[in-house]
Amino acid sequence: MILLLVILPLLAGALLFMVRRPAWNPFVLCATALIHLVITFSFWTNEPDPAFNDWLALDALGLLFLSILSFIFMLAAIYAVGYLKEEKRLHETDVQRPHLFYASLLFFLATMSLVTLSQHLGLLWVAVEATTLASAPLIFHHRTHEALEATWKYLVICSVGIALALLGIFFLGTAIKAEQGSLILSDMLQYGVTLDTYWVRAAFIFLIIGYGTKMGLAPMHTWLPDAHSEAPSPASALLSGVLLNCAFLAILRGYQVLSAAGQAMFAQHILLLFGLLSLGLAAAFLLNQTDYKRMLAYSSVEHMGILALGMGLGPGAAFFVLLHSLNHSLAKSMLFLTSGNILLAFKSKKIHSITGLVRALPWSGFLWISGFLAITGTPPFAPFVSEFNLLGVAISGHRFVVAGLYLAALVVAFLGMGKSVLSMSQGDSSMAPAGCKEKSVLVAAPLILFLLLLLLGVHIPEVLSGKIMAAARLLGGVQ
């Protein structure tokens, strides 16, 4: 049954790739996304059986990330159909080979699902590298010089980064001393104490550099602003909202192994270091952004920093880290989808060439401002809950320096993004091209995310907090 989550989108993508009938694209994409969503949420009540000698299985961590993936993919798929239609109409560009975009989206879904399901660390690596390959055509979609540059950097930097993660996995293989040991996660955890300390430590450094490149941790993040700003907006939403999570999941798998080997403290120190570095660097770049999609991309670097920093605070923060990864996915996807509406209407990614957003596009203007408030951790939106509680964990653990730096970075990010968002929203709308209308489908997808963020900010349903708690327990979270 869990195999279906990978095979179905793979086959659907292959179908679109080979048939090449434009009329089929939207239908196959949305139908596959819907079936994927239904199967994923059926797993909330019925735990699926492992497949392939335990190489594929769905544990609580995998389920959480799979659910985020499947849900956001559904919304992005619906949005993408409307977006590509509008883009063709408004910009009169005839994109070559549109089926390639749809097929890549489905391959992307398949490979990311495989990431959440992989229990064998080698397979996990194969899956993460495959996500890079599946998403490269999405970034190259517009075929401009800039898109070419962004795609090249993405391919080379991420492939090299992930190759280093492979070395890390081989180091873990070297660390195994037990006869029955293997690179399957459950075996790694069971024989964790027998692992060789030096190799395990070296492995984690390579894992975090490798997968950290994909996750956008500074200083390996250089590809991220280019790729996320050049990709079409629905693809950016997926890159930022779910792909970064997948890389984070891969790092968490490494963290699980290190915990089992009694090296949790070592892993926490490294995570804390990368977390602070990413937070600080992203905050600095957020202050003077001229491109609003790049601004969102740097905000992603900031939030990945928060996740790494949170794990660095120790297992007590695990619940809020996982909650924050959910909140970030919702908020950032919402912002990237809204940025697509702005780009369609104004045909510019420059912050200074946009004013009067609220008047020109009332719905998108509203979503843009509330999205900004949500992502910067303003109450009553959900990210406030997770960001505030992470601060609480830092303070109660007497890590005042960390707490201070964390808070300072959040404030700088708030000011930097606030300045840009306000200057875009206010003012007269004379710069807006005449007659731009907001299509209901292009508003609906981010609006749903907005409502969810509001809801989760007020109250987290028990069924969801139970799932997150179960996942946190795998990371040693004491609840």
Partner 1 sequence: MSEITNLLLLLLVLINLYLLSATRLSTSIKFLAAQGVVLAVLPLSLHGLHFSIHTILIPLITLVIKGIMIPNMLFKAIREIEIDRENDPYVGQTASLLCGGLFIIISFWVSERLVLPLGVTSRIWVPVALSSVMMGLFLLITRRKAITQVMGYLVLENGIYAFALALVQKMPYLIEMGVLLDVFIAVFIMGIMLNHIKETFEDFDVEHLTKLRD
| Interface residue list for partner 1 (CB under 8 A) | 120, 122-123, 125-126, 129-130, 132-133, 136-137, 140, 143, 145-146, 148-153, 155-156, 159-160, 163-164, 166-167, 170, 173-174, 176-177, 181-183, 196, 198-199, 225-226, 229-230, 285, 288-290, 294
Respond yes or no on whether the N-terminal peptide bond of residue 225 is cis (omega within 30° of 0). Answer: no
Q: How many CB atoms lie within 10 A of CB 365?
A: 23
- Shortest gap between Cβ of 217 and partner 1 (angstroms)? 18
Q: Identify which of residues 168 and 234 has a Cβ nearer to partner 1 in the complex.
A: 168
Distance CA 324, CA 314 (A): 15
Closest CA to 36 of 83, 95, 88, 76: 76
User: Residue 392: is it exposed, middle or buried by C-beta count within 10 angstroms (0-12/13-18/19+)?
Assistant: middle
- Shortest gap between Cβ of 71 and partner 1 (angstroms)? 27
Distance CA 325, CA 322 (A): 5
Q: Identify which of residues 81 and 227 has a Cβ nearer to partner 1 in the complex.
A: 227
- Shortest gap between Cβ of 130 and partner 1 (angstroms)? 6
Task: Please give the span between the terminal C-alpha atoms of the chain, in angstroms, as a whole number.
Answer: 31
- Shortest gap between Cβ of 301 and partner 1 (angstroms)? 12
Alpha carbon separation from 63 to 42, 67, 114, 348 (Å, rounded): 11, 6, 12, 38
Q: Identify which of residues 159 and 190 has a Cβ nearer to partner 1 in the complex.
A: 159
Distance CA 275, CA 306 (A): 6
- Shortest gap between Cβ of 42 and partner 1 (angstroms)? 28
The two tokens of residue 209 are 């550099």
Q: Identify which of residues 173 and 418 has a Cβ nearer to partner 1 in the complex.
A: 173
Q: How many CB atoms lie within 10 A of CB 459?
A: 9
Q: Identify which of residues 226 and 302 has a Cβ nearer to partner 1 in the complex.
A: 226
Strand partners of residue 118: 56
Closest CA to 102 of 166, 37, 15, 38: 15
- Shortest gap between Cβ of 387 and partner 1 (angstroms)? 25
- Shortest gap between Cβ of 182 and partner 1 (angstroms)? 7
- Shortest gap between Cβ of 285 and partner 1 (angstroms)? 6
Q: Identify which of residues 170 and 363 has a Cβ nearer to partner 1 in the complex.
A: 170
Q: Identify which of residues 15 and 133 has a Cβ nearer to partner 1 in the complex.
A: 133
**Burial letters for 397-436: b for 16+ Cβ neighbours within 10 Å, e otherwise?**
eebeebbebbeebbebbbebbbebbeebbeeebeebeeeb
The two tokens of residue 196 are 């060789």
Residues in the chain: 479
- Shortest gap between Cβ of 168 and partner 1 (angstroms)? 10
The two tokens of residue 385 are 């809950």
Q: Identify which of residues 149 and 428 has a Cβ nearer to partner 1 in the complex.
A: 149
Q: How many CB atoms lie within 10 A of CB 295?
A: 25
Q: Identify which of residues 36 and 120 has a Cβ nearer to partner 1 in the complex.
A: 120
- Shortest gap between Cβ of 173 and partner 1 (angstroms)? 5
Q: Identify which of residues 159 and 465 has a Cβ nearer to partner 1 in the complex.
A: 159
Mention every residue, 6+ apart, whose C-beta is less than 8 A from residue 196.
174, 175, 177
User: Residue 21: is it exposed, middle or buried by C-beta count within 10 angstroms (0-12/13-18/19+)?
Assistant: exposed
Q: How many CB atoms lie within 10 A of CB 53?
A: 10
- Shortest gap between Cβ of 317 and partner 1 (angstroms)? 31
Strand partners of residue 152: none
Q: Identify which of residues 288 and 479 has a Cβ nearer to partner 1 in the complex.
A: 288
